[in-house]
């Protein structure tokens, strides 16, 4: 049927891409009222559209510029989007969902960033809700009638075919389809005969060509309908469809929401015969990740003694071993270790926390005695604040009780403790204590909904750290003749992991940190052939990664060539050290668990491999991304007065 000369609100609800160019002033005013009426904690960017017929009832909504929510979409929970994101008609987005820039979601698609358990001890309607969240990268096209389940990460530049059910994370540049969805090919593969180069920024608004994620010299996509010479100028909707999906080689037409996978059957193992030979470095990463996933269940079986987890056969059960098992299973398999149900894992780990102090002692050891300020200074319980907290976070509920010693610590007590830490002789111990205190403060804020900082622990901690950082190194502590920068750099990692990185705040003097860390990485005492252990490599890789996020990635980043070369050497060294069925050892010597493969070494090196690969712009090929202790994203976005 013909539309009247002026589109109606109903027309815009179903075709919101027309609103910016064709709406009257009255319709624009009415749309502003619709946006103001959205409840919850809401922030809507410029040139956005929210359909009157959409059911938008968020707890939190951040809609980036030039984005829209179309007719009959259903949005609840927490949704954060970048710019140029589209939720087309009848889309469902629930739970905790984060979208990057240029994400196109087809009609009738569901992103379900929550779940609930199904233990047999109670009816389904009484089961507790859980949420690990869904993360979608930049420049992603999700076709119609797709379902994405909780806990999935979809990498940058992916295309997902219509009707897919995405149950596991997808690496960047994947073209995926099927139930369950599987990767069919890489978007960058040559298809057809086109050879022209394209501007990589064109396919993803907001992504810089030199950000380390987008190749600047990739083959052009197949021509999309409407783009060939002599064809009519496509509509604004068609132009946006081509812009977002064109670099995939998938065809886009005006109004179409189905990703065309050109006849590749989801169950087929065939690949296009014209594909170029893969980059051998990429193939190595992908093959390593496939091997690790295939062997993960057996590796965990090896470290299950029938009752509890051990780091390696013959070792005593430890709290950390249980947490490492949870982290490995989540990273590689997307589930809890199968030896216990999710509810049993939660029950065991939650039951270890002392309700009064909030501390978790080691198996068979008494509860640590708190110091005068109410918190402890060292011991296994200090690290358990991290590992038990994050294991429970991955499983769903988080720590059941606050860490009282940190919650009740006064400003005066915190400053006195910080001043007394062994910064000169033991910077690692000092950094580890800050890591534990900052992480405890993070968990404690959850128990107050983030509205009550107690005695101001986070603000006081960051204020002290910012005023004590050495402007020559960006670090805390002093090197020694015996160990060089080892204590300082390793302490820097622990300190910044729990504080600046975990709270999403910039580190001071990032250029000087890069200088100091690269200098340390040349120290043959710690990085000579065969001397690297997981702690030492992680404690260089993470600070370099953290600082490059501030300083910029790609060829123009600060000392990027040296960082790239170091990461390449380390990655080339570590991948062959995977032992079939056993995983990684921590490293040579008596530091840490030593040379026997086990859960701690495996969990740490898997995270290290991700950081090294990401420094090289290739982490998407792994198909996994740390979400626990070694997660790259902040666990919390700032604190009042500092963010």
Catalytic center residues: 116
Burial classification of residue 482, based on how many CB atoms lie within 10 Å of its CB (0-12 exposed, 13-18 middle, 19 or more buried) = exposed
Query: Hey, how many other C-beta atoms are within 10 angstroms of the C-beta on 521?
Result: 23
Sign of CA dihedral 540, 545, 551, 557: positive
Tracing tokens 């250029």 back to the chain, one arrives at 511
181-188, long-range: CB within 8 Å, 24+ apart, which pairs? Answer: 181/266, 182/266, 184/261, 184/264, 184/266, 184/271, 185/264, 185/271, 185/272, 185/275, 187/157, 187/158, 187/159, 187/247, 187/248, 187/249, 188/215, 188/218, 188/219
CA 489 to chain centre: 24
Is-contact 600 324, C-beta < 8 A? yes
Residue 65 has, within 13 A of its CA and on its CB side, a CA count of 3
At CA 404, angle to CA 399 and CA 407, rounded to 5?
100
Task: Give the list of residues 6+ apart from residue 301 with CB closer than 8 angstroms, or none.
Answer: 339
Q: SS3 letters for 332-381?
A: HHCCCCCCCCHHHHHHHHHHCCCCCCCCCCCCCCCCCCCCCCCCCCCCHH
Task: Give the list of residues 6+ apart from residue 580 with CB closer than 8 angstroms, or none.
Answer: 291, 295
For residue 227, what are the β-bridge partners?
A: none
Is-contact 73 55, C-beta < 8 A? yes
Question: Could you write out the DSSP letters of every residue in 125-188?
Answer: GGSPEE---EEE-SSEEE-TT-EE-TT-EE-TT-EE-TT-EE-S-B-TTEEEETTTTEEEEETT
3-state class (DSSP) for residue 60: strand
For residue 183, what are the β-bridge partners?
A: 176
Question: Could you write out the DSSP letters of every residue in 63-77?
Answer: E-TT-EE-TT-EEEE
For residue 352, what are the β-bridge partners?
A: none
Under DSSP, the state recorded for 484 is B
């Amino acid at each position: 049927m013909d539309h009247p000369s002026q589109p109606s609100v109903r027309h815009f609800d179903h075709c919101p891409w027309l609103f910016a160019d064709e709406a009257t002033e009255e319709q624009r005013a009415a749309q502003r009222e619709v946006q103001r009426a959205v409840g919850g904690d809401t922030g809507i960017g410029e040139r956005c559209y929210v359909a009157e017929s959409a059911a938008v009832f968020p707890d939190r909504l951040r809609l980036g510029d030039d984005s829209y929510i179309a007719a009959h979409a259903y949005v609840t929970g927490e949704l954060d989007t970048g710019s140029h994101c589209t939720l087309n008609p009848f889309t469902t987005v629930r739970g905790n969902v984060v979208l990057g820039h240029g994400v196109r979601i087809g009609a009738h698609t569901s992103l379900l960033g929550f779940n609930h358990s199904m233990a047999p001890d109670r009816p389904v309607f009484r089961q507790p809700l859980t949420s690990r969240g869904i993360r979608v990268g930049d420049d992603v096209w999700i076709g119609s009638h797709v379902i994405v389940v909780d806990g999935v990460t979809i990498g940058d530049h992916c295309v997902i075919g219509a009707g897919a059910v995405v149950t596991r994370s997808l690496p960047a540049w994947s073209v995926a389809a099927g139930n369950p969805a599987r990767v069919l090919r890489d978007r960058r593969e040559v298809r057809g005969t086109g050879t022209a180069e394209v501007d990589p920024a064109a396919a993803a608004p907001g992504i810089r060509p030199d950000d380390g994620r987008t190749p600047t010299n990739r083959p052009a996509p197949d021509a999309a309908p409407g783009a060939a010479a002599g064809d009519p100028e496509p509509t604004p909707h068609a132009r946006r469809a081509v812009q977002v999906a064109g670099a995939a080689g998938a065809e886009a037409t005006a109004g179409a929401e189905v990703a065309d996978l050109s006849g590749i059957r989801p169950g087929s193992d065939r690949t296009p015969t014209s594909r170029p030979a893969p980059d051998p470095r990429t193939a190595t990463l992908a093959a390593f990740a496939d091997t690790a996933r295939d062997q993960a269940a057996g590796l965990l079986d090896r470290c299950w003694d029938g009752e509890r987890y051990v780091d390696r056969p013959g070792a005593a059960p430890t709290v950390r071993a249980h947490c490492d098992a949870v982290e490995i299973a989540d990273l590689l398999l997307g589930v809890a270790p199968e030896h216990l149900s999710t509810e049993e894992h939660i029950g065991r780990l939650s039951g270890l926390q002392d309700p009064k102090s909030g501390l978790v002692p080691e198996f068979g050891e008494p509860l640590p005695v708190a110091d005068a300020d109410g918190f402890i200074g060292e011991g296994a319980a200090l690290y358990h604040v991290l590992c038990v907290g994050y294991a429970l976070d991955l499983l769903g509920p988080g720590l059941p009780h606050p860490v009282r010693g940190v919650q009740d610590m006064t400003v005066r007590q915190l400053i006195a403790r910080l001043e007394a830490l062994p910064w000169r002789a033991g910077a690692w111990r000092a950094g580890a204590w800050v890591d534990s205190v900052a992480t405890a403060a993070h968990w404690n804020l959850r128990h107050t909904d983030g509205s009550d900082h107690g005695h101001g622990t986070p603000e006081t901690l960051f204020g002290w750290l910012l005023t004590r950082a050495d402007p020559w190194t960006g670090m805390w502590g002093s090197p020694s003749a015996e160990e060089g920068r080892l204590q300082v750099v390793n302490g820097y990692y622990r300190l910044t992991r729990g504080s600046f990185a975990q709270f999403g705040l910039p580190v001071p003097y990032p250029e000087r940190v890069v200088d100091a860390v690269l200098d340390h990485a040349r120290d043959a005492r710690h990085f000579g052939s065969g001397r690297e252990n997981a702690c030492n490599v992680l404690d260089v890789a993470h600070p370099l990664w953290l600082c490059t996020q501030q300083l910029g990635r790609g060829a123009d980043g600060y000392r990027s060539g040296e960082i790239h070369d170091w990461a390449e050497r380390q990655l080339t060294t570590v991948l062959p050290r995977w032992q079939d069925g056993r995983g990684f050892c921590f490293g040579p010597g008596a530091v840490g668990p030593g040379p026997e493969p086990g859960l701690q070494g495996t969990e740490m090196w898997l995270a290290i491999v991700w950081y090294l690969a990401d420094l090289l712009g290739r982490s998407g090929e792994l198909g996994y991304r740390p979400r626990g202790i070694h997660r790259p994203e902040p666990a919390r976005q700032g604190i009042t007065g500092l963010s």
